[in-house]
Structure 1
Amino acid sequence: MVDFPATAGSREFDRSEVSDGVTVTVVGIDGDALPPAASAVVERAEVVVGDRERLARHAPDGALAVGLDPLPPALDEVERAAGAGQPVAVLVAGDPGLDVVLRALRARGLRPAVVPTVSTVRRLLARLGRPADDVVVVSAHGRDATRALNVCRARPSVAVLTAPGAGPAEIGAGLVGWRRTLVVVEDLGGERERVVSVDPEEAARRTWSDPGVLLCLADPDALAPLAWHAGGEPTPPAGGWALPEDAFAHRDGMVTPAEVRAVALARLAPRPGELVWDVGAGSGAVAVECARMGAAVIAVERDPVQCVRVVANAGTHQVDVRVVEDEAPRGFAGLPRPDAVFVGGGGPEVVAACADLGADRVVVALSAFDRLGSTRDVLRAAGYQVAGCQISVSRMAELSGDPTGATTGLTATNPVFLIWGAGRNDQRGTP
C-alpha cells in the first residue's frame, strides 16, 4: 500500500508514474468507456470489483470479478487481495470522491490510489445549466437515507446520490407534502439518456431505472442564495439564535420568549439531516429557529390565522417550514417520524401522543405548575430520561418617570417551565 505525497521533487506529481506500486486503485467511470488513465490499471488488476454492468464490460479475462453489492463481503475480498499483494481495481460510477466505497476502504485501513472523473452531480448540473455552488450533495446510501431525505425537506437545492431502495420513487414518497420538484436523470451520458422533472407524488408512482443522481428543488427556476460554501449558509446561522420576539410576526405577545427558545433549542439540538416537529406552533418562532439551523421542520397548528403567521415568519427568515393546519394529535396522521418534538401548546393528551412518536428528544413548555408532574410521568413512562427547569427572566428596561431615560431597571417576564425527555434508544424509523 502506498500513500502519495502532493508533489514529487520540484515538479508536478503524476500519480500514473508510480501506479505499478499501488495495490488498490479506485477508478471513476464516466459513461460506458474507461478513461485512458484507468485502462492500464484495470488490465493489470488480478481482482476487479464493481457492479454487474461494469464488471461485464470492463473486467479483463482471468481476473477475479467481485460484485459490490453487498458491500461488506466485497470489502473483505479487497482487503484479502491487498494483503496478498494482488493488484485490485474498484470500479465506481462518476467521481470516486463522492462514492461511499472510497470512504469504506479507508475505514478498513487501506489507502487506495484514485483515478478520478467528472462526477454525475457536476455532469447533471452542467446538463441543466446550473452552477455547482447551488446544491448541497447528500448520499442516500445505507443508514443515511433518512438524513438525506430530511436535507431535501429543509434545503431549496439538493443533489441526492441514490441507492437501491432509496431511489426517485422512495425519495418522492418521503417528500409528499413538501413543495418540491425532482429532476431525475436516467442513463446520463448514455444512448438512453432521459432527464425528467416530476413532483414527488409522480416520482413515487413511477418505476425508474437505477439513476445515480437526482436533484430536489424547491423552485426549479431559482438558485439558492450565494454563500461562501456550496449549498447555503453555515450552521449555526449568521446572527445567532434565540432571536428577539420582534423578529417574528405574532399576536398580542403570543410568542415563545427568546430566553425560553434558547434553552429549548439547546435541548432539541436541531441540525441538518434531522426532522423537528413544533406542535402547537403558534407564530412558529421555534419552528423557524430550528429551520435556520438546518433541520427539516413540520409545524402543527390548529388556528388558521396562526398558520398564516408561521408561513410569513418562515418567508421572512428564508427557511422552509411545512405547516399542518389541524388539531393535535389528529394532525399527526401520515407525517414522517420526527427526531425531536417541541410541544408549545396542548394538554396532557397531546404530550402523551408526542411521547409515543419515538422521537429521540421531546421538549415541553408549560406555563402552569400543576402540569409538571403529569408531563414528567408521561415522558418517563415512554422511556425517556427526564429533566427540566423554570426560566424566570428579568430584562433591562428604562424606568418610567425618568425624563432623561438614563435610569435602567429590570422588567420581569412570566416564568415558563421547560421539561424535556431524552435518551430513548429507539431505532431510526422509515423515511
Structure 2
Amino acid sequence: MTGTVTVVGYDGSPLGADASRALAGATLVVGGRRHLDAVAVPATARTVVMGPLSPAVEELARHDGEAVVVASGDPGFFGIVRALREAGLDPRVLPGVSSVALAFARVGLPWDDALVVSAHGRDLAAAVNACRAHPKVAVLTGPGAGPAEIGAALGATARRMVVCERLGTDEERVTAISVQDTARAWADPNVTLVLDDERLATRVGSAWPRAAAPDAWALPESEFAHRDSMVTKAEVRALALARLAPRPGLLVWDVGAGSGSVAVECARFGAAVVAVERDADQCRRVDANARRHGVSVDVVAGSAPAALDTLPDPDAVFVGGGGPDVVAACARRKPARVVAALAAVDRLAPVRDALSGGGYAVDGTLLQSSRMRALPDGSTRLAAENPVLLVWGERL
C-alpha cells in the first residue's frame, strides 16, 4: 500500500486532535460496527466493518491512500497492531486507555502486579490455569471463553470475579461475583478480573507476576517443612523439574505429594498445581510450604488413583508416591509429560510398561548423589544419599 495506516484506540472518551485529523484525512476506515458508529467517519471514506481479522488486514495491505483502523483501548496490547506488523505494515498507533487499565480502575486496584492473559481465540485452559496460579489476573475474553466458562472451569476454587462489560460505553456494567455464580449471559466485549482476596490480603500479590523462572530452584530441603526427612531431595527435584517443564498456563499434578516440595517448586515457575496426598498431616504441610513460598497449590486429600477422577486434566504429572496403577491412571489423562520417582527397583518394569502402553516415549535414570560433609579435623567426606530411580514419559 501507499500512505499511512493509523490505528486509533477508542476507549469511549472524545478523540484527541491527532486521531481526529487522521480520521478526517482517511480514504479507508476499518473497525467494528460499534466503533464506526462512535467516531466521525468522513462521508467520502470507504468503510470496512471488521469481523474476521484476516480479510480486514488484507484490505488494508491493498489500499492506496490514508487508512485508519479504529480499535478498542490500546491496540498494541493484545490488539490488531501485532497482526498488522506480521502482515508487513508499519502502523502509526494512537492508543486509548486499555480495557485492562479501565477494569482495574473501576474496582480501584493497582495492576502493576497483575497477570494479563487472553482467552480470545486462544486455549481457555491456559487462561484458567493462570487464574489458578496467580492471585490477580485479568482475562481478555472471547466467544465461548467468557466469564461463565471461566467460572465453570475454576469450579470450587476460592476466587472472586469482577466482570467488566462494555467498558467506556453507556452500557458499561461492572459486576463482582463468586466463580460459582457466573452461569449467566454476559455482554461482549468484557474483561474479567479473577482475584484471590486471601493471598492479596497477605501482600503476596505485591510481587511482580511470575512469568519467568524464579530466582532459584531445586531448593534445599530446609526450605520445606517435612516429616522425618520425607521430602524429595534437591538433586531429584532438579531433574524432575527439567522433565516436567512447568510454566505459566500449564496445570501440574503432584501425586503422592508428601511435603509438597515438587508442587511448590512447580508453582514457583508460575504453573497451576494440584497436590494429591492421602495423609492429613502431610496435606497441612503442603499448604504451609506453599504459603511460606507465596504460591498457590490446591491440596486434594485422598488416595490415588480414585482421588484423580474429579481433577481437571493436567499438562504434566509428577508421581512421588503410588505404584504402576497410579502411573497408568495418570497416563490415561494424556498429559504431555509424566515423571515418576521410584525407590524400589522392582517397580521399574511395570511403570515403564504403564507409560509405554499409554502412548509415551519412556526414559529414565538412577540418581546417586553424595553430599559434602565436614569432618572434625577440618577435612571433608562424601556422604551418600539414598538412590532414586526417576522414570519419565513424553507423549508421542
TM-score between the two structures when normalised by the length of structure 1: 0.85
The match for 2:312 is 336
Alignment of 1:17-416 (within 5 A): 22-31=3-12, 33-58=14-39, 59-81=41-63, 85-203=64-182, 205-219=183-197, 222=201, 224-227=204-207, 231-232=208-209, 235-238=212-215, 240-399=216-375, 402=376, 404=377, 406-416=378-388
| Secondary structure of 1:96 counterpart | coil
**1:389 to partner: Cα distance:** 0.3
Q: Which runs of 5+ in 2 are unaligned?
A: none
Mapped partners of 2:231, 2:76: distance in 1? 45
Q: Deviations over 1:312-356 (max 9, x none)?
A: 110111100011112222222332221111111111111111112
**1:310 to partner: Cα distance:** 0.8
Using a 3 Å threshold, how does the CA distance of structure 1 residues 40 and 99 change in structure 2: closer, same or farther? farther
| Secondary structure of 1:410 counterpart | strand
Q: Deviations over 1:1-40 (max 9, x none)?
A: 6xxxxxxxxxxxxxxxxxxx74322110011644442223
Q: Deviations over 1:251-303 (max 9, x none)?
A: 11211111000000011111112111111111111000000111111111222
Using a 3 Å threshold, how does the CA distance of structure 1 residues 224 and 34 change in structure 2: closer, same or farther? farther
Quote the RMSD (CA, aligned, Å): 2.1
TM-score between the two structures when normalised by the length of structure 2: 0.92
Mapped partners of 1:278, 1:67: distance in 2? 49
Mapped partners of 2:21, 2:189: distance in 1? 28
The match for 1:422 is 394
**1:409 to partner: Cα distance:** 1.0
Using a 3 Å threshold, how does the CA distance of structure 1 residues 191 and 56 change in structure 2: closer, same or farther? closer
**1:368 to partner: Cα distance:** 1.2
Mapped partners of 2:120, 2:171: distance in 1? 25
| Secondary structure of 1:159 counterpart | strand
Mapped partners of 2:382, 2:48: distance in 1? 72
Mapped partners of 1:262, 1:31: distance in 2? 50
Number of aligned pairs? Answer: 393
**1:172 to partner: Cα distance:** 1.4
| Secondary structure of 1:272 counterpart | coil
Q: Which runs of 5+ in 1 are unaligned?
A: 2-20, 425-431
Mapped partners of 2:50, 2:311: distance in 1? 34
**1:60 to partner: Cα distance:** 4.2
Mapped partners of 2:150, 2:362: distance in 1? 35
The match for 1:14 is none
Contact 2:250–2:315 (CA<8 Å) still a contact in 1? yes
Q: Which letter maps to 1:237?
A: P
Mapped partners of 1:151, 1:29: distance in 2? 28
Contact 2:255–2:321 (CA<8 Å) still a contact in 1? yes
